[in-house]
Amino acid sequence: MSSLNLDDFTDLIERPDGGVRRDAEEHRARLVVPPGSLGRLDDLGEWLAAAQSSVPVRPVERPRVVLFAGDHGIAAREVSARPAGTAVELVRDVLEGGRPVSVLARRLDVPVRVVDMALDCDPASLPEDVVRHRVRRGSGSIDVEDALTLEEAEAAFRAGMAVADEEADSGTDLVVLGDISVGGTTAAGTLVAALCGTDASVVTGRGGLAIDDLAWMRKCAAIRDALRRARPVLGDQLRLLATVGGADLTAMTGFLLQSAVRKLPVLLDGVVTAACALVAQRVAFRAPDWWLASHASGEPGQAKALDRMALEPVLPQGVAVGEGAGALLALPLVRAAAALAAELPVRQELVKDA
C-alpha cells in the first residue's frame, strides 16, 4: 500500500488569483493600444500576472528547461524509429549542446536540467546531478507487464515533487518542461486513450522521427494491449502510472502537481508532457490553470489531451522532436507579453483625468 495520498493535492492547489487577473485585464484596457490588438499576447500577460499575483506583471528572469529522461521497455516492440534503450545517447547530446533544445536554450540564455529517472545505462556514465533521482534502469514493457512496481512509482512521483521544490526554492520563475525518451510516446498515448476513453488508433502518432506504416501499426497494437491493462486501474492514478506509465512520466506528473502547489508556472511541450498533465488533472482539477500549452506538435494524443484540459496551444509549429524544443519556442512570446503588459504606457487622456 502506498503512503502517498494524491487526494491531498486537491486541497493544496489553489487557482491563480482571479482578482489579480481582473486587475491585469483592467490595466490592459488602459494602455495606449486597444485591447485585442496584441492578439494572444494579451491573454499570456494576464495568465502570467495571475500566476505571479502581480500587476503589472514581472519579467520572466529565471526560466529553466527541465527534462525528465527514461527508456521504455515497449520500445523493444519496434514502435519507435530509435532502437530500444538508446535514450542515453540523446541525453548526452543534450548535455553536449548538440540537440535542438540545446541550441535554442543557448540562444535564449536558458539553463537546461536533465533528470534521469529510468535510462537503460550505467548511471556512472552520466554526471551525478543527472542520475541522483534515478528509480530504476528502464521501465517494463507495458503491453505485457507493469512499467514499475507501486513502490517505484511512488519513488518516481516523489522525485518529481522534489525537483519541483528544488526549482521553486532556487528562484526559477517559469519551467519549460519536456522529456527525453525512447518509447515514451507509446506510454503517453496509452495514458491519453485510457483517460479519454478512446481507441488506440485515435491517439497513435508517428513520433519525432516519423515512423513508417508498419511501425505505426505495431505502435497501435502495443497501445491497444497496454490499454487492456490500464482500464482496470483507472480509478487509482498512481497505480495507473505504475502499470502503463514509466518512471519519467510518473516523475513528470509529480513535478506538475507540486509546481502547482508552489505556484510555479509551467510550459508544456509535446504529447508526453500533455499525457502527464492529463493524469495530474485527474488528481487535482485546478492544477491546469498553472500550465500553458506551448505548441501543437501534430501528435493526435497531444491534441486529445489538451482538448480534454481546455488548454489552447500558443504556437502551431508541429515540432515533434520532444526534449522541450517546441515549448522553448513559446518562451519569447511569454516574455514579450510580460514586457508589453508592464512597459506600455497608459493612454494620455487617462493620465490627464488622473
Instruction: Examine the domain organization and report whether 148 and 22 are in the same domain.
Output: no
Instruction: Examine the domain organization and report whether 49 and 72 are in the same domain.
Output: no
Q: How far apart are alpha carbons 25 and 341 in whole angstroms?
A: 10
Residue whose entry in the numeric block shows the C-alpha cell 517505484: 152
Instruction: Examine the domain organization and report whether 236 and 159 are in the same domain.
Output: yes
In terms of Cβ atoms closer than 10 Å to its own Cβ (0-12, 13-18, 19+), residue 310 is exposed
Q: Choosing from 151, 323, 343, 349, which is the catalytic residue? A: 323
> Is residue 217 very low, low, confident or very high in pLDDT (cuts 50, 70, 90)?
very high
Instruction: Examine the domain organization and report whether 71 and 219 are in the same domain.
Output: yes
Instruction: Examine the domain organization and report whether 43 and 171 are in the same domain.
Output: no
Please give the pLDDT value at position 93: 96
Instruction: Examine the domain organization and report whether 85 and 101 are in the same domain.
Output: yes
Instruction: Examine the domain organization and report whether 269 and 160 are in the same domain.
Output: yes
User: Is 3 a member of any domain?
Assistant: no
Please give the pLDDT value at position 67: 98
Instruction: Examine the domain organization and report whether 269 and 291 are in the same domain.
Output: yes
Task: State mean pLDDT over 221-246.
Answer: 97
Q: How far apart are alpha carbons 218 and 207 in whole angstroms?
A: 13
3-45: pLDDT as tens digits = 789 999 999 999 998 899 999 888 888 888 888 888 999 999 9
Q: Mean pLDDT of all residues in the chain?
A: 93
Instruction: Examine the domain organization and report whether 158 and 299 are in the same domain.
Output: yes
User: Is 151 a member of any domain?
Assistant: yes
Please give the pLDDT value at position 329: 94
Please give the pLDDT value at position 206: 81
295-313: pLDDT as tens digits = 999 899 999 999 999 999 9
Concerning whether 343 is annotated as a catalytic residue, the answer is no
What Cα–Cα distance (Å) separates residue 299 from each residue in 2, 7, 271? 33, 30, 6
User: Is 78 a member of any domain?
Assistant: yes
The pTM for the full model equals 0.95
Instruction: Examine the domain organization and report whether 36 and 78 are in the same domain.
Output: no
User: Is 40 a member of any domain?
Assistant: yes
209 pLDDT more than 70: no
Please give the pLDDT value at position 128: 96
> Is residue 200 very low, low, confident or very high in pLDDT (cuts 50, 70, 90)?
very high
239-266: pLDDT as tens digits = 999 999 999 999 999 999 999 999 999 9
Instruction: Examine the domain organization and report whether 259 and 343 are in the same domain.
Output: no
Please give the pLDDT value at position 36: 83
The vertex-321 CA angle with 44 and 272, nearest 5°, equals: 70
User: Is 168 a member of any domain?
Assistant: yes
Please give the pLDDT value at position 313: 95
User: Is 43 a member of any domain?
Assistant: yes
Instruction: Examine the domain organization and report whether 348 and 303 are in the same domain.
Output: no
350 pLDDT more than 60: no
User: Is 2 a member of any domain?
Assistant: no
Look up the domain containing 96 and give its range: 63-330
The vertex-251 CA angle with 250 and 252, nearest 5°, equals: 90
354 pLDDT more than 70: no
1 pLDDT more than 60: no
The CATH number of residue 174's host domain is: 3.40.50.10210
User: Is 23 a member of any domain?
Assistant: yes
What's the total number of domains in the chain? 2
* Full strand arrangement of the beta sheet holding 112-118: 112-118, 63-71, 174-182, 266-268, 291-293
